[in-house]
Structure formats: C-alpha cells, structure tokens
C-alpha cells in the first residue's frame, strides 16, 4: 500500500459498517440481550497510549463496561441534533459495542448467542 492509498474515506467506513452490521443482524438477530451474556466488563487501552505506542502500554489499561457503552449509545441517539458530539468519547463507547460483536463471533467464546 502506498502513501496515496492510505486515506480513510468516511464513505467507505460507513459502507463497511453497514455491511458488517447487516451480517451481525443476520447472524444474531435484531437484538442481543447483554444481561444474558457474561460480557459486563472488558480491558481497554487508553487511546493516546495506543496510538503513540506508549513504552509501557500496560500502564494505560483500564476497564470498560458494556452496560455503560449501551447507556452512552442510547444517550447519543436521544441527543438534540444541536448538541455537541464528542467523537473521542462517543466513538469510544460505540467501538466497545462493536468489539463486543466481534468477541461474540469468535469461534471459541462459548457465549450464548442472541435472544
């Protein structure tokens, strides 16, 4: 890949998200009952440490919570269109939920699926 090819196009990202979410819905249905799964907490690496390749990334690990991510998603969807969107904060919670979908799809998680 050349430098000219290293361009993140938001339209491509939007299309990829739609494709992947369609696949997740096809596989797991329109809703996943998180309370029935053992997915409450997860490890998370601080964004700044992750992208600056911190010398000791283990010092930048914190804990995320799926129910908090879900609550933040709900709040985002209920906000007034005039409200400020904080990309670093809101995308962080969204990515926690997307990573949860990826985790559920691992072949060896043993988690109950869907309903």
Instruction: Tell me how crowded residue 69 is: count the other CB atoms within 10 A of its CB.
Output: 21
Helix (H, G, I), strand (E, B) or coil at 42: strand
Instruction: Supply the pTM of this predicted model.
Output: 0.86
Containing structural domain, residue 57: 3-105
In-domain check, residue 25: yes
In-domain check, residue 110: no
67, 76 contact by CB (below 8 A): no
Residue 115 has pLDDT above 50, yes or no: no
Residue 17 has pLDDT above 60, yes or no: yes
- Separation CA 40–CA 68 (nearest Å): 9
In-domain check, residue 113: no
In-domain check, residue 35: yes
- Separation CA 9–CA 20 (nearest Å): 17
Instruction: Please give the tally of structural domains in the chain.
Output: 1
Beta partners for residue 63, in sequence order:
43
In-domain check, residue 44: yes
Q: What is the pLDDT of residues 38-88, one digit of tens each?
A: 999 999 999 999 999 999 999 999 999 999 999 999 999 999 989 989 999
Task: Please give the average per-residue pLDDT across 15-25, as a whole number.
Answer: 98
In-domain check, residue 115: no
Residue 4 has pLDDT above 90, yes or no: no
């Amino acid at each position: 890949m050349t430098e000219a090819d290293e361009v993140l196009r938001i339209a491509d990202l939007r299309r990829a998200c739609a494709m992947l979410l369609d696949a997740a819905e096809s596989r797991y249905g329109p809703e996943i009952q998180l309370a029935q799964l053992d997915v409450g907490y997860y490890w998370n690496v601080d964004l700044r440490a992750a992208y600056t390749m911190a010398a000791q990334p283990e010092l930048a690990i914190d804990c995320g919570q799926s129910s908090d991510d879900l609550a933040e998603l709900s709040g985002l969807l209920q906000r007034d269109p005039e409200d400020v969107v904080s990309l670093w904060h809101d995308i962080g919670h969204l990515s926690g939920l997307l990573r949860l979908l990826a985790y559920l799809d691992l072949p060896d998680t043993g988690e109950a699926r869907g309903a």
